[in-house]
Amino acid sequence: MKFGTFIAQLPGFDLAAGARAIEELGFESVWVGDHIALRDDHAAPYPYSPNQRYQLPANYPFPDPFVMLAYAAAATTTLRLATGVYLLPLRNPFTTAKAVATLDALCNGRLIFGVGLGWMSDEFELMGSDFRDRGARTAEYLALLTEVWSKPVANFEGRTVKTSGFSFFPQPVQQPHPPFVLGGNTDPSLRRAVRLGDGWFGIVTSLDEARALLGRLTEFERQAGRDRKLERTLLTGWNVSVDDIGRLAELDVERVIDAGIFGVRDPLAHLTEFRRRMAAEFER
């Protein structure tokens, strides 16, 4: 079992010192969420809350994930750096290609590229991006990224994006691309992860929810005839016990992400205690 944690740009949190401490504690990865802008009166329903309202206020400080992860990369040597998850269809895919390739080169191949479609239609409207075809564009953008990152001269033509004759450098250390980890709990999201991803990222609030989601994911893998299972990553919405981790491992979960610095007064003390509990069982 690998353990990750979210990090964020919170007042009083020293990212350089914090990232080094997280690495020394034995965490495998740090994850950064993504939004361009928020509004408290969002029209779109949030899919991971019973009341369909986003839990974070509009003034929550979401940093640019690539800038923040580059800063963390400079302070660490082994820690993996992950977007959890980056709203790919919200952006221009060519500027995304440049940022991801630059970061993977800077950190010597430690990047995990977590990708999501996004749920807040308000945010897509702000950015002048079509919310309705974001699934199709995500698929094409991932194919485009693989092409421009792995070929000396890129040629790609899709319905929503195309390029011909251009070269895109630097290219990522990880070839043909950093791991694509696709997020989402709905059946279309799970199927998309099976079709396009190297891994899947889910958000769960209970073991029962995790068991149901992972059962559906496994069935979709079987239907698609995948030879190799997706790497399974779960963000757990409760204070997991060692027994919980054992049950998740039995469900083929390979990485558990602790919420880390969210909602606690002393993030590093919380993470230290979390690792102490887990190390006793899983790192003997």
Report pLDDT digits (tens) over 88-113: 999 999 999 999 999 999 999 999 99
Q: Are 120 and 31 in contact (CB under 8 A)?
A: no
How many other β-carbons are positioned within 10 Å of the β-carbon of residue 28? 20
Strand segments (E) across 27-157: 29-32, 80-83, 86-87, 111-116, 154-157
| Mean confidence (pLDDT) of the chain | 93
| pLDDT at 124 (0 to 100) | 97
Closest CA to 193 of 221, 228, 161: 221
pLDDT in tens, 102-158: 999 999 999 999 999 999 999 999 999 999 999 999 999 999 999 999 999 999 999
Strand segments (E) across 75-135: 80-83, 86-87, 111-116
Task: Please give the biggest Cα pair distance in the chain.
Answer: 55
Q: Give this prediction's pTM.
A: 0.94
Give yes or no for residue 176 having a pLDDT over 50: yes
Per-residue pLDDT, averaged over 39-54, amounts to 91
Percent over 90 (pLDDT), the chain: 82
